[in-house]
Amino acid sequence: MLGSWIEIAVPQGPDVAATVLRSWWVRPADGALRGGVLVLPEVFGVNPWVRGVAGALAAEGYGALALPLFARTAPDLELGYDDASLAEGRQHKDLTTTPQLLADGAAAARWLQDQLAPDPSRPSAAGRPALGCVGFCFGGHAALLLATLPAVVASCDFYGAGVATGRPGGGPPSLELLDQVAGRLWCFCGGADPLIPPAEVVAIERALAAADPSGERHRLIRAEGAAHGYMCSARNAFQPAAAAEGWRLMLELFDAELTGKG
């Protein structure tokens, strides 16, 4: 794999200050890319585990771009998983808004599309290469938001807490944006996740069904007995079997939507 830090400029926009995204870019050393995937971290930043996710996607043939979610308050954030780090990450999360996340995601998507060679046989969004997106925890919530971008056709929201109760920076629940999601969105929830209680899981399931009555585009996937953070091998909540299944399903979605095999 070839990995490096790169910088992506985000222009100033309505309610959004300009910034630079210090992002981790990794791709296979040889061969054409099968597609591009945005990787959105937990509140702990683009740390070694998140870079490892990007590397694992690159091992599957994808170009993976892990971008910071707190570029304006902590552009170089890399934290561990202790309580103090969690408190620090949540401070930055509380200062982050939905317009910022969407502006940063759009800039990152444009950069990633530029790295993909046009291929008439592949899915495309507005005439440009289509992208996937995966996020974890706060990054999972952000993945639901970025699923509204035209460039993103396949999104995996892993235990994105709060989507049923609000949105970053304030406002109605992010679930109310599902009518703007033109692609496919799969939401993963652990059955023992205290940050997404049963009532919110039901709300997510109902919102997905209302936005996609056919059930062909959107799915809710429960990992029974799994706690919050079950995908992350660096956390105490890591559950290997649930993580392996989550990874398998994510690759299934990306294979179908980004490589033209669906």
Q: What is the CATH number of the domain that holds 209?
A: 3.40.50.1820
The verdict on whether 15 is a catalytic residue reads no
Q: Which of 189, 193, 218, 255 is catalytic?
A: 193
Distance of CA 181 to the CA centre of its chain: 14
Q: Please tell me the least confidently modeled range out of 117-131, 170-184, 185-199.
A: 117-131
Q: State the pLDDT confidence band at 127, using cuts at 50, 70 and 90.
A: confident
- What pLDDT band is residue 261 in, cutting at 50, 70 and 90? low
**Is residue 92 flagged as an active site residue?**
no
Q: What is the pTM of this model?
A: 0.97
Tell me if residue 228 is catalytic: yes
Q: What percent of the chain has pLDDT over 70?
A: 98
Kindly report the average pLDDT of the chain as a whole number: 96
Which of the following is catalytic: 133, 137, 156, 187? 137
pLDDT at 180 over 50: yes
Radius of gyration of the chain (CA): 17
Domain range for 98: 2-258
Taking the C-alpha atoms of residue 177 and residue 209, their distance in angstroms, rounded to an integer, is 13
pLDDT of 203-248, one tens digit each?
999 999 999 999 999 999 999 999 999 999 999 999 999 999 999 9
Structurally, how many domains does the chain consist of?
A: 1
DSSP string covering 123-158: -EETTEE-EEEEEETHHHHHHHHHTTSTTEEEEEEE
Between the two ends of the chain, the Cα-to-Cα distance in Å is 26
pLDDT reported for residue 122: 75
